[in-house]
Amino acid sequence: MSNPEEVLERPAAGHALMDGETFLESVRDAREVWYDGSKVDDVTTHPAFRNSARSIARLYDALHDPEFRSQLTCADRNGIRTHRFFTPSYSPEELLAARDAIAIWQRMSYGWMGRTPDYKAAFMAQLAEGYDFYEPYGDNALNWYRKYASQCLFLNHVLVDPPVDRNRPHHEGTDVFVNVTRDDDRGIYVSGAKMAATGSVLTHATFVAPNSGTAARMEEGKDEAFALVFIVDMDTPGLKLITRPSFEFKSQSPFEAPLASRFDENDSVLVFHDAFIPWENVLVYRDVEKAKGFYASSGFFNRFNLQSSTRLAVKLEFACGLLMKGTEAAGTDAFRGVQTEVGELVAMSNLVWALSTAMALDPEPGVGASVVPRLQTAAAARVYMTSAWQRVREIFEKILAGGPIVTVSSPKELQSLELDPIIERYFRGTGMAAQDRIKLFKLIWDALYSEFAGRHALYERNYAGNNEQQRLDALRWSDDRGDSARYRQIVEDCLGDYDLDGWRVDHLLGD
């Protein structure tokens, strides 16, 4: 980052792009976050969330840093200066520039924060062009885009119903699933729960909607109370955030958990108890058809895969560096079998970068005049990405074997005069001091084997939908767009080249 003196003057909250301090101040409000049996007074100072909050604040500071400002931001068609991915793209070049802006932010967390503020921009940016889909709430959609883009607001989303009673018809779940209980001239009142709101503790608002699986189960005449799409401010009375354990809170020191101690995106269950949502925050109300159709109409699927693939490409680069340094420390980096596995990891990173480039440079028309990544490419990235990290873990487990557990219980051992000569002899790396080797392998442990790492493995596998749905969607879109028919025709053409009497194509027929 550049010197503080070089950064632009701090913007006033609500009037321009936030910087880090403005962001931190903006989430010091009346939100009801529960952790360890108590309400959290200030999410920016609580030890479960403090460092994550500052990691997000750093992204906002970058928007004003001369080193990054021109690459991160641009003016939209209405003159609003915003992050490049927070506004629609209208050409492959603009989409590629948005991809590169995503990468700048992602490199600040080495790819370990997936639901950064740009994630929900995959949806919110398209409201600028597609607001009329949400009539009679189209003005709400457009106004939310302007508010969102002008400040680069941090939104999360909750789409998934709690995993209970899924053997019952969806409309019978009014005691658990988010549904509207009543409305008046000011807005609507909702109750129920949604999961899992990644990063929601630190966001300004939550986008609430049914996911594709839930929407598929909805029936007109039965599910209108659930057919909702709305945005809820995090300090809304009646909204509770119940979080999972914080890996940041559990981290004893940066030396022990250098990733978990600053990049943990806490996941919450959001519980609504007669929470009031003003009409201006409503996009779809009691409309089953629109609740089912807004995903396809928004371009969200196409765009979120661009953000996700860029994030994973950065994370895979980090994994490549970890494995290279780990094998060098072990003295195995010149082994042919080891190089084979490292080479595969390098190829995986290059493949995901190539997918992100293809999504940018070979787009399809989006809503209005915008362009979005081609659906088939986005679907391919989705399927590959949610399987890739399992292979990364397998490579590390096979190549580094038990190396990551050859470490010490805490940094105190490294400060013991009695243990110092023993640790230096037996815990050193190849051409590397013991402390440096242990520091490296503590990082490897946090990335691949810790509780934080286990959560990331689960995240990579499931963040884009369940395993079957990912593949069923790819097949359905292949059918819908004529690709399946083209694939079958290739085979028909081949079958037509010959029959029982021999070749039927001119270039193979004999004289």
The separation between the first and the last C-alpha atoms of the chain, rounded to the nearest angstrom, is: 75
CA-to-CA distance for 62 and 170, rounded, in angstroms?
A: 44
Say if CB 442 and CB 255 are below 8 A apart.
Answer: yes
Tell me which amino acid residue 226 is: F
Residue 106's pLDDT is what?
98
Q: State residue 504 phi and psi, 5-degree precision.
A: -120, 5
- Token pair of 298, please? 């928004």
E-only strand ranges, 199-334: 205-208, 228-233, 239-243, 267-278, 282-285
Of 63, 120, 41, 77, nearest in space to 303 by CA: 120
What DSSP designation does 510 have? Answer: -
- Token pair of 28, please? 């010091």
Say if CB 192 and CB 272 are below 8 A apart.
Answer: yes
- Within 10 Å of residue 485's Cβ, how many Cβ atoms? 11
- Token pair of 20, please? 């880090």
Say if CB 245 and CB 47 are below 8 A apart.
Answer: no
Say if CB 139 and CB 47 are below 8 A apart.
Answer: no
Q: State residue 75 phi and psi, 5-degree precision.
A: -95, 130
CA-to-CA distance for 266 and 244, rounded, in angstroms?
A: 7
Sign, CA dihedral 75-77-79-85, equals: negative
Region of residue 299 (phi > 0: left; psi between -120 and 50: alpha; otherwise: beta): left
CA angle 401–402–407, rounded 5-degree value: 140
Instruction: Answer yes or no: pTM beyond 0.85.
Output: yes
CA-to-CA distance for 381 and 186, rounded, in angstroms?
A: 42
What DSSP designation does 203 have? Answer: -
Say if CB 303 and CB 125 are below 8 A apart.
Answer: yes
- Token pair of 85, please? 């991915």
**Which residues on adjacent β-strands are paired with residue 232?**
206
CA-to-CA distance for 102 and 231, rounded, in angstroms?
A: 24
* Tens digit of pLDDT at every position of the chain (511 positions): 333 333 334 444 445 899 999 999 999 999 999 999 999 999 999 999 999 999 999 999 999 999 999 999 999 999 999 999 999 999 999 999 999 999 999 999 999 999 999 999 999 999 999 999 999 999 999 999 999 999 999 999 999 888 887 778 777 777 889 999 999 999 999 999 998 899 999 999 999 999 877 788 889 999 999 999 999 999 999 999 999 999 999 998 999 999 999 999 999 999 999 999 999 999 999 999 999 888 888 899 999 999 999 999 999 999 999 999 999 999 999 999 999 999 999 999 999 999 999 999 999 999 999 999 999 999 999 999 988 999 999 999 999 999 999 899 889 999 999 999 999 999 899 999 999 999 999 999 999 999 999 999 999 998 887 788 889 889 999 999 999 999 999 999 999 999 999 999 999 997 6
Q: Compute CA distances 410 → 226, 252, 441, whole Å.
A: 50, 9, 13
Say if CB 467 and CB 385 are below 8 A apart.
Answer: no
